Chain A
Amino acid sequence: MSDAPGVLTHAAVMTGRSLRISRRNLDAMITAMMLPIMLMLIFVYFFGGAIETGTAYDSYVMYVVPGVLLLCAGFGSATTAVAVSEDMKGGIIDRLRSLDVGGAPVLAGHVVASTVRNLVSTTLVFGVALLIGFRPAASLGGWLAVAGVLLAYIVALSWISAAIGLLARTPEAAGGFTFFMSFLPYPSSAFVPVDSMPGWLHGFADHQPITPAIEALRGLLLAQPVGNAPWIALAWAAGILAVAIGLSGVLFRIRTA
């Protein structure tokens, strides 16, 4: 009999599985990609002309792309909740547990696959953004920082999405829950400046986790001063990730008790 494999082997095998399945669920993948792209086109061509974003931006497309990138991460990670929920509902989780595969590798497999999916779709959205006139001016360091912030958010949102998948009793409910997450970029500076919103919303819009990420991405991509926005964004991502990992650990134990 072979030696008991470690957590890393389990996580690697589970990641391979999730990636294979994602590749075959092309419709989900295309939806996750098309929605942000369509939203970007709608905002740029339908609403953009009417949105006043200040003199710092040559055109609305320069303003809106960072928000669309994060929106894309939100949509993309939402599929993780559904996938986790489906595993918990069916016999898969019993089989995995009877093979002595723990909760962490199962979720990690989903999260890593989600991250890979999101990196692909983010790249595509970025490509379309370039086609419609987005002209970034970031330095090499800036690009690395952009990649870092995006990666941190994708991982954090994917893991929180996995936790939602454990929380929801059905895959349909899991899909519904993540809608709220995809909604977060709207009350932020993603599409319109926070100043243009009613006063009572400023407190929320300025201090919710998406805003510092958008400020950081926008500043870095357009080579504008960013202050400590990237650090605040990374702190938010780390905080979300920590909560998501802790929460999913507890939820996994409850669901499999």
Chain B
Amino acid sequence: MPETMIEAHGLTKSYGKPSDPVRVLDGLGLQVPRGEVFALLGPNGAGKTTTVRILATLTTADSGTARVAGFDVVADRHRVRRAISLTGQFAAVDATQTGEENLRMTARLTGLSRSHAKHRAAELLERFGLTEAARRQVRTYSGGMRRRLDLAAGLVGSPEPGVFFLDEPTTGLDPRSRRELWQVVRDLADGGATVLLTTQYLEEADRLADHIAVLNGGRAVAEGSPETLKARFPGHRLDLVLTGREAYLRLAARAVHHSPGTLTLGLPTDGTAAHARALLDEIDPHRTDVERFSVHSASLDDVFLALTGETAEEAAGETTGETTEPTEEPTHV
């Protein structure tokens, strides 16, 4: 087995009319070593799904090359298909078949005999906590159960530890189901699998991935371990409303977020009470400069605005004097 399980160089892809093409991928490259969990993080339209579809041989790039498990995704696509398992954005299980029937069917399609397929289906149902629901039609399943079954179906025929493509595995799931699915991905990773997952959620990438590539406009605008990326942009911010202009100017240099109109500054914090308390004591020892404060958790938009200068201007659109615009409700303390 090769050391680099997934690698891509200079992938480009455009959709639409030749006269008016929409460029979805613009020279994307990535490398995923064996056993790593790699997250493609980006908003809708960043090119995440297209990347997964190219790597999983479902579509071809206009230019560039990609190899998965050592095989070229175009010339050797049949071998690639035998080596990977794919779970797409849309559930790929039949609602009017039972969970067990779906898995047995998938197992049969990968070439297992009837008895092996039955055995494998039972094994996966057990592993994904679906044994009790095995004989119920999938349309009675919750969203989370459906996703787990979908993941199991993707797993049925691939050799383990394999290569997994999970396209937005938790989109649309409630928090509990999301956590359950995270555990599934961690278990896969513990078993030595190579996982490429796409997500719109910074938190998800942070919790699961060894390595994150932030995708925007069809290219990787930032890449690194979660720690590296977080160091470049803090996950939390302590937003302070100051009592006067003097205090604002004194602290402005330390801030990552400025809003002079409202005398608000955002300072990096790890979000813990200890740090927030220490920070407040440090910057305002006389307890006169800070009027109010709130903890703001970084949203994906914040990361983008921080990581991509030009995007920030486009996204901000207007000159409000703010460098970042909080898009999620700040957590009031």
Binding site for B on A (CB under 8 A): 1-5, 9-10, 13-14, 16-17, 20-21, 24-25, 90-92, 94-101, 256-257
Contact = CB atoms under 8 A, between A and B. Distances in A.
Nearest to A18: B94
Contacts of B59: 257
Contacts of A92: 92-94
Interface stretch (B103-111, B179-187, B228-236, B265-273): B103-111
B85 A2 contact: no
A24 B137 contact: yes
A2 B112 contact: yes
B58 interface: yes
A98 B96 contact: no
Given A94-B86, A99-B157, A13 B111 contact: no
Contacts of B150: 91
Q: Report, as a range, how many residues of chain B touch the other chain.
A: 35 or more
Most chain B C-beta atoms within 10 Å of own C-beta, residue among A2, A25, A256: A2
A99 B90 contact: no
B94 A99 contact: no
A14 B106 CA distance: 10
B248 to A, nearest CB: 52
B225 interface: no
A90 B109 contact: no
A4 B105 contact: no
Contacts of B94: 17, 21, 92
Contacts of B58: 94, 97-98, 256
Nearest to A16: B105
A180 to B, nearest CB: 27
Given A5-B111, A20-B97, A99-B110, A91 B137 contact: no
A13 B57 CA distance: 23
A13 B56 CA distance: 23
Nearest to B90: A91
A111 B110 CA distance: 22
A245 to B, nearest CB: 22
Contact of A4 (B57, B93, B111): B111
Given A98-B57, A99-B110, 14 more contacts: A2-B111, A17-B97, A17-B105, A21-B97, A90-B91, A91-B89, A91-B91, A92-B92, A94-B86, A94-B88, A94-B92, A95-B88, A98-B86, A100-B82
Contacts of A4: 78, 82, 111
Nearest to B91: A91
B191 interface: no
Contact of B81 (A25, A100, A256): A100
Contacts of B112: 2
B215 interface: no
Contacts of B101: 20
Contacts of B91: 90-91
A14 B101 CA distance: 12
Nearest to B106: A99
B300 interface: no
A16 B86 CA distance: 23
Interface string B50-83: 0001001111000000000000000000100110
A98 B86 CA distance: 7
A98 B111 contact: no
A5 B110 CA distance: 7
B148 to A, nearest CB: 15
A90 B137 contact: no
B81 A98 contact: yes
B159 A100 contact: no
Nearest to A5: B111
Contacts of A91: 88-92, 150
B85 A101 contact: no
A98 B53 CA distance: 10
A9 B108 contact: yes
Contacts of B57: 97-98
A92 B266 CA distance: 46
A222 B101 CA distance: 46
A98 B108 CA distance: 14
B39 interface: no
A13 to B, nearest CB: 5
Q: Select the residue from A3, A97, A100, A256 with max chain B CB neighbours within 10 A.
A: A100
Given A20-B101, A24-B96, A96-B109, A1 B90 contact: no
B108 A99 contact: no
B25 interface: no
20 contacts: A2-B116, A4-B78, A13-B109, A20-B96, A24-B137, A90-B91, A91-B90, A91-B92, A92-B92, A94-B53, A94-B56, A94-B86, A94-B92, A95-B86, A95-B88, A95-B153, A98-B58, A98-B81, A98-B84, A100-B81
B82 A1 contact: yes
Contacts of A21: 94, 96-97
Nearest to B85: A98
A101 B89 contact: no
A257 B106 CA distance: 23
B169 interface: no
A95 B92 contact: yes
Given A94-B58, A95-B86, A95-B153, A9 B96 contact: no
Interface string B106-141: 101111110010000000000000000000010000
